A and B are shown apart, each in its own frame.
Chain A
Amino acid sequence: MYETDSPEQAALRETVRDFCRQYADSSAWKRLTGELGLTGLAIDERYGGMGAGFAEVAVAAEELGRVLLPVPYLSTALAGTVLNDGTPQADGLLPDLASGALTAAFVFTGDVTIAEGRLSGTAGNVLDGSEAGLFLVRADGSLYAVRAAEATVTPAGTLDQTRSQATVAFRDSPALATGADGDRAEELMRVLLGAESAAAAGHCLDVTVAHLKSRKQFGRPVGSFQALKHRCADLAVQVSSAQATARAAVAAAAYGQGDLRILAPLAKRYCVDVFWHAAAEMIQLHGGIGFTWEHEAHRYLKRATTSQLLLGSPAHLRRLVAHRAGLY
C-alpha cells in the first residue's frame, strides 16, 4: 500500500542527490541531461530516453527541488513525459528533449487561442519560460507545441531567482498539435510541484534542526528549549504527512492508483503550504542569520511563495478539491 522507492528509484535518488552535492549551480544542466539523462527519464529508449516513467521524474524533481538547483527541470522533464504519451506528430521533439538540447515550458494561463493551426495571445508567469526553446500551450484543452523562435519571450525579474519566468506572446505562431491532454499536463505539474515542495520542506526542517543543535545561547543549545522543540515537532508532523501525500499523488499519476483529479490539486495545496510554513519557520528559528541574503533560507521562502501562487492559489485549489470531491 505504501509507495516506497523501488530499488531502481532509490538508486536514482542517491545518484541525483550525490550529483547535487557536487554541482549545485546553473552549469549543472549539461551534466544533468547529458551524463544523467534526467530529462529523458520518461521518454522511450528509441528516442534516446531512459524508458522509465513519471514516478522517476518525480524522484529527480524531489532531489533537485530539495537544493533548489536552478535548472528548468520540471518543465522539460514533464514535456518529455506528456509528449511521449502523445500522438506520433510530436515524436520528432522527443530526442532533443531527452538529450536536454531542447528545454520546454508550459503555458496554462493567459488568453492564448488556437485557430487554423496558429496560436495567438499572451501569457505571463510562464515557469521556466526564459530559457525555453519550446512552448507547450494549452488551448481548447490540448497541448500545442511552438518553437520559441515563433514567439516573443520577455524574461521577467523573479522573486525566486532559482526558477525563471517569462511573459510569452504568440501572434499567428505556427503550432503543432501534440495530441497530449493539456488538463492532465497541468495536474502532473501540480504533482511535481507538490513532490518537490515536500522534499524541500524536509530540507528546511533538517537544516533548522541542525542549527538548533549547534547554536548556543544562555549556555545551552537553543534546541533544548521546549518552545523551539515543539515548533520543530509540528514541522516534522507536517513534513512527514506532506511526503506521504506527495507519494500518493505521484502514485495516482504514474500508476493510476487513486484519483489524480483530486490528489493533484490536494497534494499541491497541502505540500506547498507545508513547504511555505517550513521555510518561514526556518527563517524564524535561525534568528537574524535567517533574514540575510547569505543564508539559504530566503531562497526557500521565495520558492515556496512562488509555488503557492502559481498553478492555482491555495484558495483556488481548496475550492477545486471541494468541487471535485462533490462537497459543494
Chain B
Amino acid sequence: MEDEEFRASVREWLATNLGGDFAGLVGKGGPGREHEFVEQRLAWERRLGEGRWIGLGWPVEDGGRGLPWSQQVIFYEEYARAGAPGRVGHIGEQLLGPALLTFGTQEQKARFLPGILSGTQMWCQGYSEPEAGSDLAAVRTRAELRDKEWHLNGQKVWTSLAHIADWCFVLARTDPEAERHRGLSYLLVPMHQPGVEIRPIVQITGTSEFNEVFFDDARADAEAIVGAPGDGWRVAMGTLGVERGVSTLGQQLGFQREFESVLAQARGNGSIGDPDIAGRIADAWIGLQVMRITAESTLGAPLGTAPGTEASISKLLWATWHQRLGELAVDVAGPSATLTGPDYGLSDAQRLFLHTRADTIYGGSNEIQRNIIAERGLGLPRG
C-alpha cells in the first residue's frame, strides 16, 4: 500500500472509531493524565487491536503487519492529530514485545504476543527499586526456582500503570553469587495473584500513575523467563531504547499540541507582548523543529537492535525541552497559575509544569543519559 493510501486508511478508521462511546476520549490520558477514563481507554485498546493497529512494524509471522517505518510514522502522526487517547498498552507493545521478538522463544511469542496485539493484556515494567534507581544493576528483588516455579520476593517502585496491568516483566536477581549484572534474569510475572501487592504513589500533581509493587512469594512459571537465567541485563538493555524513532514522532505531535495551547494562552492574555515571553515562545518553537528534525534523522533503525547513543540524545533533547515548556506555561498563565480548582484540580498549564519535572528523571535521568553519551558515544574514560 502506498503511504498516502495508508494515511487515508488510518484517518478513516480513526474518524469512524473515535466516535460514539469513544468520542469522550479525545485528548485524554497520557503522561500526567493516566488516571483519566481508565476503563474506556482499556476498551479503546481492544478496539485498536481489532483494527490491527498494534505491532504495525512487527514481523508478519509473529502476528504484526510488517509495515515500513514510514507507515508506522504516519500512524503515530494521524493518531496524535486525531487526539486519540494516551495508550495504555504501549508498555507491552513498545518494551516487552520487542524483547520477546529479539530474545523470546517461539513458545513465549505464541503465548504472549497475541494478548499484546489484541489489546487485551496490559503490561507494566518492573525494573526500578528503592535501592536501584540510576544504578539499575543493584536490583535486589530475589527470584528462586523451586518446584517448577519462580518465587519472587522484593519491591519495585515507579511502576507505571501497575494497577491496570495484567503482567509485569521483572528484572530479578536469580544468582546472588554472580557479579551483579550477571546475576539478573528477566521474568514474566502475572499481576493478579496473592503474592503481588500494589500501592499507588501520590505524585507532585496529586494524582497517581506510578506505584510501588511488593512481591511476597509471588509466582511465575519456570518457562516465563526471557533469555537464560543471568541474561536479564542483556535483555533489558537490548530493548530500553527501541521505543525511539517512530513513536518519538507521535510524541512530537503531542508536544506541538501543547505548544499551541501555551501560545494560544499567551495570545489570549496578552503576555505575548512581553519581550521575554515572546522570545521564549520563539525558542520553544525552534526547539520543537530541531527535535523533530533530529528525531527524523535517526529514524529507520531496525526493531530490536541495541540502542546507540541516539536514544540518549533524543531523551535529553525532549525531556529538557518539555520541562522548559512547562515552565513557560505557568509564566504565561501568570498569577492564575497559583490557584487550583476544587480537590487540587489543575489547569493544563499547571499539570504540564508539574508533571514535566519527572521527564528529566524517569527512563534514565538526564545525568545518566549524559554518562551514556560521554562514555559510550564519546569514549571518555569511566570515573
* Cβ contact of A237, chosen from B272, B317, B375, cutoff 8 A: B317
A240–B294 CB distance below 8 A: yes
Say if the beta carbon of A1 comes within 8 Å of chain B. Answer: yes
* Cβ contact of A234, chosen from B282, B370, B381, cutoff 8 A: B370
Contacts A223-B380, A229-B371, A270-B286: A328 and B291 contacting too (C-beta < 8 A)? no
Mark B363-376 against chain A: 1 for CB-CB distance below 8 A, else 0: 00001011111110
A318–B282 CB distance below 8 A: yes
* Cβ contact of B380, chosen from A212, A240, A315, cutoff 8 A: A212
* Cβ contact of A327, chosen from B263, B299, B369, cutoff 8 A: B263
Kindly state the separation between the CA atoms of A212 and B379 in the bound complex, as whole angstroms: 10
Contacts of A24 in B (CB 8 A): none
Q: Which of A116-124, A147-155, A165-173, A243-251 contacts B (4 or more CB under 8 A)?
A: A243-251
Q: Name A209-265 residues within 8 Å CB distance of B.
A: 209, 212-213, 220-221, 223-226, 228-230, 232-234, 236-237, 240-241, 244-245, 247-248, 262
A325–B285 CB distance below 8 A: yes
Contacts A2-B296, A237-B317: A321 and B382 contacting too (C-beta < 8 A)? no
Q: Which residues of B approach A to under 8 Å, CB–CB?
A: 70, 263, 267, 272, 278-279, 281-283, 285-286, 289-291, 293-294, 296-300, 309, 313, 316-317, 367, 369-375, 377-383
Contacts A233-B369, A245-B294: A213 and B313 contacting too (C-beta < 8 A)? no
Contacts of A228 in B (CB 8 A): 380
Kindly state the separation between the CA atoms of A1 and B297 in the bound complex, as whole angstroms: 7
Kindly state the separation between the CA atoms of A221 and B278 in the bound complex, as whole angstroms: 44
Contacts of A234 in B (CB 8 A): 316, 370
Say if the beta carbon of A266 comes within 8 Å of chain B. Answer: yes
Total interface residues in chain A, CB < 8 Å: 38
List 26 A–B pairs whose Cβ atoms lie within 8 Å, in order of A's numbering.
A2-B296, A2-B300, A213-B379, A223-B381, A228-B380, A229-B371, A230-B367, A230-B374, A233-B374, A234-B316, A236-B313, A236-B377, A237-B313, A237-B317, A240-B313, A241-B291, A241-B317, A244-B297, A247-B293, A266-B286, A269-B286, A315-B279, A319-B282, A325-B285, A327-B263, A328-B281
B282–A327 CB distance below 8 A: yes
B285–A1 CB distance below 8 A: no
B383–A225 CB distance below 8 A: yes
Say if the beta carbon of A11 comes within 8 Å of chain B. Answer: no
Which 10 pairs show the lowest CB-CB distances between chains A and B? A233-B370, A229-B374, A244-B297, A322-B282, A233-B373, A223-B380, A224-B381, A241-B294, A230-B370, A244-B294
From residue B71, how far is it (CB to closest CB) to chain A in Å?
A: 12
A209–B380 CB distance below 8 A: yes
B380–A224 CB distance below 8 A: yes
Supplied contacts A229-B371, A233-B377, 5 more A-B pairs, CB within 8 Å: A2-B298, A224-B382, A247-B293, A262-B289, A318-B283
Query: Closest chain B residue to A240 by CB distance?
Result: B313
Q: Name A77-119 residues within 8 Å CB distance of B.
A: none
Kindly state the separation between the CA atoms of A230 and B370 in the bound complex, as whole angstroms: 5
Kindly state the separation between the CA atoms of A180 and B370 in the bound complex, as whole angstroms: 47
From residue B93, how far is it (CB to closest CB) to chain A in Å?
A: 22
